[in-house]
Amino acid sequence: MKPIVTPLTQALSEGKLTRDELRDFMVRSDGPALRLLFFWVLVLLATGSLIWLAWDSWLIWPAMFLHGIVVVHHFSLEHECVHSTVFRTRRLNKIVGTICGLIIILPFKHFRYEHCDHHTYTQLKGDDPELIEMPKSFAGYLYYISAIPYWRAKFTELAMHAAGHLTEAEKRFIPKVEYGAVIFEARAMLAFYAALFVLMAATGWWAPIWFWLIPLFLGEPVMRFVRMTEHVGRPTVAQMRDNTRTNLVSLPWRFLCWNMNYHAEHHYASSVPFHALPRLHEKLKDHICVEPDGYLGAHRDILRQLRRAPHG
């Protein structure tokens, strides 16, 4: 069988990227993550303060939405921790990733195994467990962005795991020896949430509702909007130069997504930490799918394809 030539191997063969440079890109360090986390906490405090300042006003809703955009982007940090590239040690990646999972109701261990198959079978229907299918209509496009199907699937998944059940699809990507750990993780998360709600009911301290849960649900459609730009509208083929899209976005969005807008680069070398992806982009940008107009440009492409698709 003829080997598949990827942009990474092509860049290496053409001398645009050396193996020494690739090894340098893959070096892990705590410094960049700790610096970003410092500003991350400042941004969370700032957006959370807007909710407090708007407490007796209708402006609390846009304030919670803005705060929610930051809250849901804990997904980006959890995603990087799944790859163990945020910090030097696997233990610290696991701790931070687990905390992020509690914040956005996404169990870390289950996500790690699911995401591994996503990288192995990217955009292959029936094999990629994270495949977001191309909408069949504009209504379907809006329905996905609403996050209703996302939350329905996640709550069903969490309840099923807590009850001790895994789907046949999950049994394909979760090692058998880890079935119990995934079930325990779901039960532990539900126990944590239950204990928190008992505490709130007993003390009358409802701040988590206003500063966490409502913002989380208000902000999730933004995350759905972002997640669609990674693969939706790209060919459902194994070739990574075709099935994944990099989006060039402004600094605030790069900050929030931990450089995951460089998504094609991430798929070609998933062991490269977030802080090295911009440098890797400069090496691979002529070999991958790049959307220069960022998230909006990607959605224009998706909607263009949707309009041209045959219906009925």
SS (H, E, C) 130-189: CCCCCCCCHHHHHHHHCCHHHHHHHHHHHHHHHCCCCCHHHHHHCCHHHHHHHHHHHHHH
Whether 244 maps to a domain, the answer reads: no
Number of domains in the chain: 1
- Mean pLDDT across 84-106: 97
At residue 112, the pLDDT reads 97
Whether 10 maps to a domain, the answer reads: no
Judge whether residue 90 has pLDDT over 50. Answer: yes
Range of the domain at 119: 26-237+270-276+301-307
- Kindly state the percentage of the chain with pLDDT values over 70: 95
CA 34 to chain centre: 20
Question: What distance in Å separates the CA atoms of residue 9 and residue 240, rounded to the nearest whole number?
Answer: 12
At residue 1, the pLDDT reads 37
Whether 184 maps to a domain, the answer reads: yes
Whether 5 maps to a domain, the answer reads: no
At residue 196, the pLDDT reads 97
Question: What distance in Å separates the CA atoms of residue 293 and residue 299, rounded to the nearest whole number?
Answer: 10
Whether 256 maps to a domain, the answer reads: no
Segment 38-65, tens digit of pLDDT: 999 999 999 999 999 999 999 999 999 9
At residue 5, the pLDDT reads 53
Query: pLDDT band for position 311 (50/70/90)?
Result: low
At residue 17, the pLDDT reads 83
Q: How far is CA 296 from CA 113, 203, 225, 293, in A?
A: 30, 44, 9, 6
Per the prediction, the chain carries an average pLDDT of 94
Whether 294 maps to a domain, the answer reads: no
Question: What distance in Å separates the CA atoms of residue 244 and residue 12, rounded to the nearest whole number?
Answer: 20
- Mean pLDDT across 195-223: 98
Closest CA to 256 of 7, 59, 79, 2: 79
At residue 88, the pLDDT reads 94
Whether 261 maps to a domain, the answer reads: no
Query: pLDDT band for position 264 (50/70/90)?
Result: very high
Instruction: Enter the pTM of the model.
Output: 0.94
Whether 1 maps to a domain, the answer reads: no
Segment 281-298, tens digit of pLDDT: 999 999 999 999 999 999
Question: What distance in Å separates the CA atoms of residue 116 and residue 24, rounded to the nearest whole number?
Answer: 23
What's 245's DSSP letter? E
H or E stretch covering 195? helix 179-203
